[in-house]
Amino acid sequence: MTDRSCLAIILAAGLGTRMKSAMPKVMHAIGGHPMLGHVLETATRAGSDRIAVVIGPDMSPVESLVAATASSAVCFVQHERKGTAHAVLAARPALEAPVDDVIVLYGDTPLITAEAVETVRRALARGADIAVLGFEAADPSGYGRLLVEGGRLVAIREEKDATDSEREVSFCNSGIMGFRGALLPELLDAIGSDNAKGEFYLTDAVEIATGRGLTVVAETGPVEDVLGVNNRVQLAECEEIFQARMRRSAMLSGVTLVAPETVFFSYDTKLGADVVVEPNVVFGPGVSVSSGAVIHAFSHLEGAFVDEGASIGPYARLRPGAEIGQGAKIGNFVEVKKASVEAGAKVNHLSYIGDARVGAKANIGAGTITCNYDGYNKFFTDIGAGAFIGSNTALVAPVSIGDGALVAAGSVIVKDVPDDALAVARGQQVVKEGRAVSIRAIKERMSAERKK
């Protein structure tokens, strides 16, 4: 399709009323990414040179998302919501530049694939003036019906306007339509609002085009690709399909998911070949895991990079900015935030490493914490290569532990420790021989007196 120019118009003005939310509907997330973000990325992958996004008034979060996601996208405001054709008209300035294909998409159909869009574009390339993407519905209730005669699409009938016989049709409208670019403006001008809802339906373009002897066709796509979201139940249903797709894709690319149905991905999760993911792992946005790494059970990763052969968890948490080096070990109940743990280093259990560097082959004992926050500012802790930090140590940042240094268990380190030095920073132990006997006697006497 590279020889044909394409404008994608994405309708995204919905308020989210049925979502019971103050947030615009298209900002609700699937796989950690707003629904509209998914559609923008699909439009780009399908070869759209330009993207026009139709939004409602006062939707600054949507505008910000569009600007951050697609450099070729421009927002247009639909000030009154009077139907899909009225929404497309809001983007009319985008139609002034010549274009071969115009594809109309919806910001609340997050599962639409580039392949589905390309199906519509191929129909236009074969000579269709309008191409509509349809699907076969087991239960067509609520959908507009695609009425086909002699292999040509002659009308799209909204259910409220359909006859009894038309309601028997199971070939349904996804809403996704493609137009020959030069044709669309005059079709929009010809669409009226003589229907049950008094709105301007983009689907009426089909009957208008047929009446003018133009070529209108219907293409068939998978029903999963075109599922729309109007409420939180449907949002969860789309999330389930998205997760199933991600799991399948990961396994086919060489990732082992021990219990696939318990692993949850974000839209941008990247896993290398021979990665093993144990049960009940959650990947938040921004995670990349290199080949041969193991993510053990009940771990949560977000905004993190895991290098080859590293081991994470079980019950580990990698927060944004965590960078785990080759062959490093992050063990159970360890949290890492904005810190690098270099190759071969070990943070095996019950520790917090934040705003820090842990040098190669360093060993961090259980219960160690980097005290990086004073209530106002964050400070950095640098732990050198081969350093050994004893259990229950508090490293009060800013502080530096040299290469090969040893820190005794239970220390509170507030000053830099040179290379290969031993640091001991704890209260002196005092032993009083036999004192336990007298203390027990006193306690027993006091207890007996209280019972009188």
Does 15 carry a binding-site annotation?
no
Does 348 carry a binding-site annotation?
no
Helix (H/G/I), strand (E/B), else coil: 299:
coil
| Whole-number Å distance between alpha carbons of 223 and 138 | 10
Does 82 carry a binding-site annotation?
no
Q: 2, exposed or middle or buried, with CB in 10 Å at 0-12, 13-18, 19+?
A: exposed
Does 144 carry a binding-site annotation?
yes
Does 12 carry a binding-site annotation?
yes
CB burial readout 130-166, b (16+ within 10 A) else e? bbbbbbebeebeebbbbbbeeeebbbbbbeeebeeee
Concerning whether 349 is annotated as a catalytic residue, the answer is: yes
From the list 38, 296, 300, 349, the catalytic residue is 349
| Whole-number Å distance between alpha carbons of 150 and 99 | 30
Dihedral sign from CA coordinates of 442, 444, 445, 449: positive
Q: Is residue 355 within 8 Å of residue 380, measured between CB atoms?
A: yes
Does 373 carry a binding-site annotation?
yes
Does 63 carry a binding-site annotation?
no
Does 319 carry a binding-site annotation?
yes
CA distances (Å), origin 1, targets 4, 116, 264: 6, 13, 34
Does 106 carry a binding-site annotation?
yes
Does 409 carry a binding-site annotation?
yes
Does 363 carry a binding-site annotation?
yes
Does 143 carry a binding-site annotation?
no
Does 13 carry a binding-site annotation?
yes
| Whole-number Å distance between alpha carbons of 245 and 253 | 12
User: Before 314, cis peptide (omega within 30)?
Assistant: yes
Q: Which residues are catalytic?
A: 349
Give the residue ranges of the annotated binding site for acetyl-CoA. 366, 372-373, 391, 409, 426
Binding-site residues for Mg(2+), in ranges, read 108, 230
Question: What residues are designated binding site?
Answer: 11-14, 25, 78, 83-84, 106-108, 144, 158, 173, 230, 319, 337, 352, 363, 366, 372-373, 391, 409, 426
